[in-house]
Structure 1
Amino acid sequence: MARFRLTDRRAHRAMSGIALLALAAGALTACGDERAAPPDSAASVPAAPQAATSTPHLIDNGGHRLAFHVTEGRGPTVVLDAGGGEDSSYWKDLVTELHARTGSEIITYDRAGLGRSEKVAGPWKVENAVSDLRAGLRELGVTEDVILVSHSQAGEIATYFTKENPELVSGSVLVDASLPPLYTDDQIARVVAANQPAVDAAKKDPSAPRNSQLISTAESYVPMHRAYHQVSWPDTVPATVIVSEKTPFDGSPEDARRWRDAASSFVRQGPDRTLVTARGSSHDVPKDRPGLVIEEIEKMVAAAG
Structure 2
Amino acid sequence: MSRTSPNRSTYRALSALALLTLTAGAVTACGGNDPAPEHSASHPAKPAASHPAKASASPAADRAGASKLHMITNAGHRVAFHVTQGNGRTIVLDSGGGEDSSYWNDLVPKLHADTGATVITYDRSGLGKSEVVPGPWKVESAVSDLKAGLDQLGVNRNVTLVSHSQAGEIANYFAKENPRMLSGAVLVDANLPPLFTDVEIARLVAASRPQVDAAKKDPDEPRNRQLLATAENYVPAHRAFHKVAWPDSVPATVIVSEKTPLEASPVDAQRWRDAATLFAKSGPDRTLVTAKGSSHDVPKDRPDLVLKEIEGMVATPAG
Same fold by TM-score, threshold 0.5 exceeded? yes
> CA–CA distance in 1 between the matches of 2:116 and 2:16?
32
For 2:298, the equivalent position in structure 1 comes to 285
> CA–CA distance in 2 between the matches of 1:241 and 1:11?
27
Q: Per the alignment, in what secondary structure is the counterpart of residue 106 of structure 2? A: helix
For 2:104, the equivalent position in structure 1 comes to 91
For 1:165, the equivalent position in structure 2 comes to 178
TM-score (norm 2): 0.82
Residue 55 of structure 1, aligned match among 56, 59, 68? 68
For 2:211, the equivalent position in structure 1 comes to 198
Q: 1:259 to 1:70 in 2, by over 3 A?
A: same
For 2:50, the equivalent position in structure 1 comes to none
C-alpha contact 1:19 1:248 (8 A) present in aligned 2: no
Q: Per the alignment, in what secondary structure is the counterpart of residue 167 of structure 1? A: helix
Q: Percent identity?
A: 68
C-alpha contact 1:126 1:156 (8 A) present in aligned 2: yes
- 1:266-277 matches, within 5 Å, as 266-277=279-290
Letter in 2 for 1:298: E
> CA–CA distance in 2 between the matches of 1:151 and 1:197?
25
For 1:26, the equivalent position in structure 2 comes to none
Shift of 1:205: 1.2
> CA–CA distance in 1 between the matches of 2:264 and 2:12?
9
> CA–CA distance in 1 between the matches of 2:226 and 2:317?
34
- State how many pairs are aligned: 270
For 2:227, the equivalent position in structure 1 comes to 214
For 1:295, the equivalent position in structure 2 comes to 308
Letter in 2 for 1:208: E
Q: Per the alignment, in what secondary structure is the counterpart of residue 241 of structure 1? A: strand
C-alpha contact 2:18 2:191 (8 A) present in aligned 1: no
Letter in 2 for 1:284: D
Shift of 1:51: 9.1
C-alpha contact 1:15 1:250 (8 A) present in aligned 2: no
Shift of 1:222: 0.1
Q: Per the alignment, in what secondary structure is the counterpart of residue 218 of structure 2? A: coil
2:251 corresponds to 1:238: yes
Q: Per the alignment, in what secondary structure is the counterpart of residue 66 of structure 1? A: strand
> CA–CA distance in 2 between the matches of 1:304 and 1:18?
38
Q: 1:18 to 1:293 in 2, by over 3 A?
A: farther
Describe the superposition over 1:76-125 as per-residue Cα deviations: whole angstroms up to 9, x where unpaired.
10000000100000000111111111110000000000000001111000
Runs of at least 5 residues in structure 1 that lack an aligned partner in the other structure: 1-9, 24-49
2:270 corresponds to 1:257: yes
For 1:46, the equivalent position in structure 2 comes to none
Runs of at least 5 residues in structure 2 that lack an aligned partner in the other structure: 1-7, 23-62
Shift of 1:15: 4.3
Shift of 1:14: 4.2
The structure whose RCO (Cα within 8 Å, separation 6+) is larger is: 1
Q: Per the alignment, in what secondary structure is the counterpart of residue 83 of structure 2? A: strand
For 1:226, the equivalent position in structure 2 comes to 239
> CA–CA distance in 1 between the matches of 2:317 and 2:273?
27
Describe the superposition over 1:231-273 as per-residue Cα deviations: whole angstroms up to 9, x where unpaired.
0000000000000011110111110000000000000100000
For 1:5, the equivalent position in structure 2 comes to none
Describe the superposition over 1:255-298 as per-residue Cα deviations: whole angstroms up to 9, x where unpaired.
00000000000001000000000000000000000010000000
2:130 corresponds to 1:117: yes
> CA–CA distance in 1 between the matches of 2:13 and 2:215?
14
> CA–CA distance in 1 between the matches of 2:215 and 2:149?
30
Letter in 1 for 2:90: T
> CA–CA distance in 1 between the matches of 2:126 and 2:16?
17
Letter in 2 for 1:132: D
Shift of 1:201: 1.0
Describe the superposition over 1:30-84 as per-residue Cα deviations: whole angstroms up to 9, x where unpaired.
xxxxxxxxxxxxxxxxxxxx99310000010010000000000011100000001
Letter in 1 for 2:14: S
Letter in 1 for 2:314: V
> CA–CA distance in 1 between the matches of 2:262 and 2:15?
11
TM-score (norm 1): 0.86
Letter in 2 for 1:283: H
Q: 1:183 to 1:259 in 2, by over 3 A?
A: same
C-alpha contact 1:20 1:217 (8 A) present in aligned 2: no
> CA–CA distance in 2 between the matches of 1:74 and 1:134?
20
Shift of 1:21: 1.2
C-alpha contact 1:20 1:192 (8 A) present in aligned 2: no
- 1:140-151 matches, within 5 Å, as 140-151=153-164
